[in-house]
Structures are given as structure tokens and as C-alpha cells.
A and B are shown apart, each in its own frame.
Chain A
Amino acid sequence: MAAPCVSCCGALCYRLFIGSRVTLAPRQGFWKTAAAEFQRGAGSQLLKPIHTTVVTTKKNVPVSRHETYTEEFIKKQIEEFNIGKRHLANMMGEDPETFTQEDIDHPEQIFPKQRAIQWGEDGRPFHFLFYTGKQSYYALMHEVYGKVLQVEKHQNQLQVKGVLPEKTEIRDLIGSRWLIKEELEEMLVEKLSDQDYTQFIRLLEKLLALQCGPAEEEFVQRFRRRVPTQSQQQLREPVQYDERGVAFSACEGKRKSARAEAVVYEQGSGRITVNGIDYLLYFPVLQDREQLMFPFHFLDRLGKHDVTCTVSGGGRSSQAGAIRLAMARALCSFVSEKEVEWMRQETTKLLSHRSLEPCWWADQPATAAWLWSRKNWDPNSDVQERADWTQADGCGGMGGHENVCCPQRHGVSPPEHRGGVVSATAPHCIRAHVLLISIRLSHSSSQRVFITTTDCPSTQVMGCLHIPVETDSKH
């Protein structure tokens, strides 16, 4: 009896062993078979030998593309985390009950949200768009399109009745931006393509363009994010009052080397006095007067304010720009906060001073070009230092002097890996065309030839050469 008992016990243990393993891996097909066999073999048939597959490591199952964490695993991690949190609280002397984590990473953030199994026990998927592959995205598109159809139908009905609401401009979109593709992917827990994303944004914009009601607006706002407020708050000068009781505001502005100070009066008829002279006489050129006009034109207050300003330095254009900046700043005190924000968002540099970037590249020496050769090109290699890109010999010999001579060799990588500069010809080689403007025949011993550059925005005199010339007494 001993031998059969041992075999029976072995079989029993084996069966129990399999039974205990069943609950852990409900997904694998072969485990289900074992489970069924176990369940059917319960009771009197426990000792019936059934040939079942032994537990082995999964050798033939293809490697999954990305790691998936099961619900149980994440739950276990969360429990362990909570226990550890209490230990930490004890160690730190805090009360474990009210211990909040400020800087501790929570397991939900480390292990990203994964999709649970999408179908029930009978195999029927839960979502009606499951078989498309991108169920959340297409469900969202379906919903938004449904809203568009609803709004259109509503508008048609109103049109039939003859009661169309007036067009209200939406300013709420100014301080916010559309969700970016990564944020949308995170929201839907699904991979999207660029075209999908573009289509989605287009559909939302179509919905907005149709003058939807407040419910739809709130729905659309879910897909917009606030643009982070700029740290530099526009300072509003306090309104002052002069001896006659008229409100005014004074501000400074600058552009290039011009400095201006403008005093804007609240009541007025649009007269501007610059350095005691009327602006029409001070700025004969239309372009300068347009610059002065712009802040008022933007806020629709063209003939409503009087301005007195003083300006010094710079040229005519920079003086106009300086006064413009000063006036815009001064106007902020007469205008609401929303309009100030709108001014900042909609215009470039109306309220801020921007200056020209200094020409730092003039001090850099010329660097050698990168050469590409097809012979050494290997498309399949992942190596950082690629053999197909080499530097010409111009800089090769000066390898020792890194910082001074070849600042662009820091990464020692071909051009496409740097910040986008493809051609390495030195940008500072501005071609100078020598223009002979005039040669004045004079009795002086030298002639002056003016050199100008055609690459500069304004023709500036770069320098002049003195060429000694023999003058003949005859000419």
C-alpha cells in the first residue's frame, strides 16, 4: 500500500499545487485548462490522474513590447508604500495619521496608468468602439461631432424662427492654449498620431466657431490649459492730478539710445506736443507719426487723450519708438486690467522694451566646415561619433585650445546634433561691397573712399580709406 499511497499523495499534492497556482495567472490559456480540469476533478475524482502541463517559464511567448503592471501588483505596492509611510512618520517624529507626503513619490506616479483587460468574462468587450483599436479617441471624436450636429440643428431651428443670436466674440481663449498631443495621450491613455491630434483640434475649433452654448463651452474648456502667467506684471502708474484737477499719468520709455518721458492727460482731443513742438512738425515723416498713433489706435482711443512729451538722444525713428513706449505705459493706468493683458498678448513689444542683440560673433574665429563622405556612412550604426562626418583640417591642428579657438567643437559632433546650425561657415563673414560713392577731386593729398555694407539693414558708414593720390595741377 505504501507505494500507491505515495503516488496518490504525490498526485494529490500536485493537484493542490496546481490549484493554488491557478488564481495567480488568470490570463494564460493553459492555466484555464488546468483550472477546469481541477474543478471538474474535484470531489471523488481527486485522485484521478490527469495529464496537465507542468509549470515552466514562458519561453515561446513573444516578449511584450512594454512592461505591464497588473492591478494586484500596483495595489500591493500602494499598501507597502502606506506602511513605509507610517514607519517614516514614526522615524521623523510626526503623527502617522496626519502624515502627508510632500516630496515622496507616490506609486501611482511611478507606475503609469495601464489599461485593464477590455472585455468581460464572456469575451464581449466593454466599449462599443473596442474593435477600432483607439476606443477612447474615437469615442471622444464621436462625442464632439455629436455636439457639433446638435448645435447646428439648434441653430437651424432658430434660423427658421428668425431668432438668431448676435455674434459674441470669445475672449476667454486668450489666456489659454489647446492641449498638446502628449497631454491628450495621457488623458486618453492611448497612443495617437499627429493627424489624429490635428483632426481633434480642428473639430473642437469648428465647435467653437458655431457659437455654442455654455455647456459646450465648458466641455471645450476641458481641453484647454491656462498659459502660465508671466512673472513680469505690468506696473501701472498711479493716476496723478495736476493743479487744474485734470487726471494725467507720466511714464518713461526708451529705444536704442533715445530716452523719452510722456505725460498723457485723460481728457483731450488727440494733440501731441514733443519738446514743445507739435508732433506734425517734429516728425515730418508719416512712419514716425504712425508709431505714435499705434497705442491709441489699438485701444480705440484715438482722439481722446492729450500728450506732452520730452525726448532726447537717438535718431528720428528711435525717438518715435521711445515716445510710443512711454505713451503705451502711461495709458495702462487709464485702461482696465483685461485690456492691459490683451495689449500684452496681442501685440509684440508694445509694453516692453527690447534691444538689439550685441554682435557677439565678431570675436569668434572662423571654424572649419564639417565634411560628409558617403564612403564612411553607415545608416544602421548608433554610434555617437560618426565616421561619415569629419572636420576639415583648418581647425584640426589646434586641438589643444578648446575654449578660445574652436568653441563649436565642444560636443565634437556633426552639425545636425548641435543646435541646428548646419553650415559651419562663420556667420560673421559679412561680405562687404566697396561702393565708390564719390571721389572728390580736391586739392588735398588723399582721396576718401567710403565703404558701406549691403547686408546691414541700414546703410551705415563702416569706415573710410584714405588713398593717397597724385593730383595734377591741370585737373
Chain B
Amino acid sequence: MAPAAATLSRLLCAGAWRRPQLCATVARGPVRPGCRTLGSGPAPAVSECEDHCGVGGLAPDVREQVLREPLKHADFFNVRELFSVRSLFEARVHLGHKAGCRHRFMEPYIFGSRLNQDIIDLEQTAAHLQLALNFTAHMAYRGGVILFVSRSRQFSHLVESTARACGEYAHTRYFKGGLLTNAGLLFGPAVRLPDLLIFLHTLNNVFEPHVAVRDAAKMNIPTVGVVDTNCNPCLLTYPVPGNDDSPAAVQLFCRLFRLAVSRAKEKRRQVEALYRLQGAAGQGAGPAP
């Protein structure tokens, strides 16, 4: 576990989070709470989307507490127990492509090569997966729109079913040009863009990087993606090195993301109910004595 913890802390301190006090907490919320609309449009009156996630008479300060609650813990949703290195191995997540297909930027994540086939380092995968699942859970907790993206025809039905099962959205079809960058024209002026993109397959049908990876980076949308040894992990916020071609591996990833999202939503309901009860108890106790 020591090397995993070391990589974890290294990853946490890397990148944009150069603030030491945040090393302990795992995730930070998005810059604008909730709604992500187009920058040029005026902020709608319902600027705090959590207003409507927790409608039912929650006062603003209570709402703030509800949102801040998960940030106090390192693994509030306990996503670590959803998988283990053993289960990843049994789902064949460690199998990569042949050495000729290897992408230069995937070399840090590759454990080695056996009979010319790359093997992915599952210790690193576990660490990255834990971060990714945790982030996904936090996004779902805060009522964010999660979009599952995949362009593999073999798993299109599975990904759409997964998205439907956890109450989120999926896009496994032809990705139209300005879907994220020109959404105002395509959908309507006040459309809400996804808050998180989860890529089960980072490449499209012609083995090129999916357009949505670049577009999400342009629109400041965080991305989680399963990257195989022939993919480019650069633009993804939370890359998860792993196999994306075996049915077992893809089913495992779908199951993990679905569980994370469902758990987070359930936790949100519980926490809100708890605070509502506390509030009622407090009011009841107030005028009584």
C-alpha cells in the first residue's frame, strides 16, 4: 500500500492543486457551484442549482453545510471498497495492446511488456481509479450532469444502459461538431452543459482521439477517462490507465461508475434528510422551553 499512498499523494499535489492545505482533502468543488452554462450568456436566476437539488425548504446556510460535508473527509463515499487490485486483475484490466501501438505518454503507466504485449501497472491504475471514482461521486453528490461517452459499437448499448440506470446521460453516437462548443445554437440559448465527461473509450472508430476530449478541455469541463496503451492521456483530468477492449474490463468500469454515482446520490438524500431532521428538532426545541 505504501507505493500506492505515495503515488496518491504525489498525484494530489501535482497539477493545478499547488495548495498544500488541500493535499489532505481529495477533491475541490467546481469554480461555479452547480450550473455550467455558456460563458457569454447571463447567469440565470437559478444560479445556485443545488437550490433545486435540495428543494424542500433548506435554508442557504444549511445547504452550504450539506455541500461542505463530504469535503471534510478523504474518502467520504468509501469508493476504495468497490474494487481491489485483485478484482482489476481478474477483469483483465492490466492487458494492453502490442508494443507497436504504444503511445509515448502512456509509458509511465506501463509495468512492462510480455511477449510484445504491454502490461499496465495495476498499482497506479488502482490509485488513479480511486481518484476518478471519488471525483465522480462528489460531482454526483452536488447534482452535476454526468455524460458517459464512448464510441465503441461493441459496448454502446452497455454504456447507454449504465447511464440510464444511474439517472445520468450518455453519448455513444456520432459526435456532432459543435455539441459542446456551439451548444447554444444546437440545443437552445439556455442549455446546461455537462459538468463531467466520463470516457469509457477515449478513441473513436478510426483510432483517433475523441473530439469531446479536446472540446471538454476547451469548455473547462473536467474529464475522467479509461486510457489504454494506445491512447493519449494528456487532456484528461483524471485518466485511468486500463484495458478498454475486453468485455470484462468494460463491464467492470461501467459497474464501478454506476455504483459510485448511485452511492453519492443516496448519500446526498441521507445527508439532506439528516439536516432537515436536525433543523426540525432545533425549531421544536426552541420555543418549547
Contact = CB atoms under 8 A, between A and B. Distances in A.
A117 B188 CA distance: 9
Interface string B167-202: 111110100100100000011111110100000000
Given A29-B44, A142-B157, A131 B189 contact: no
A384 interface: no
A133 B179 contact: yes
Interface string A121-160: 1111100111111100010001001100100000000000
Interface residues of B, number: 36
A117 B45 CA distance: 17
A262 interface: no
Contacts of B186: 133
A145 B192 contact: no
Q: Which of B37, B41, B188 has the most CB of A within 10 A?
A: B188
Contacts of A131: 147, 169, 171, 179, 194
Contact of A128 (B170, B189, B194): B170
B161 to A, nearest CB: 8
A111 interface: no
Interface in A180-231: none
B45 A122 contact: no
B53 interface: yes
A410 interface: no
Interface residues of A, number: 28
Contacts of A125: 145, 169, 192
A117 B190 CA distance: 10
Contacts, number: 78
Contacts of A36: 45
B163 interface: yes
B42 A30 contact: yes
B170 A149 contact: no
Contact of B169 (A32, A35, A117, A128): A128
A376 interface: no
A129 B149 CA distance: 11
A60 interface: no
A27 B186 CA distance: 16
Given A128-B164, A133-B179, A138-B173, A33 B35 contact: no
A121 B179 contact: no
Q: Which of A36, A121, A122, A130 has the most CB of B within 10 A?
A: A122
A98 interface: no
Nearest to B184: A62
B190 A29 contact: yes
Nearest to A40: B45
Contact of A149 (B52, B157, B163, B173): B157
A119 interface: yes
A118 interface: yes
Interface string B142-158: 01010100000000010
5 contacts: A30-B42, A119-B192, A122-B51, A131-B169, A149-B157
Interface of B: 34-35, 37, 41-42, 44-46, 49, 51-53, 143, 145, 147, 157, 160-161, 163-164, 167-171, 173, 176, 179, 186-192, 194
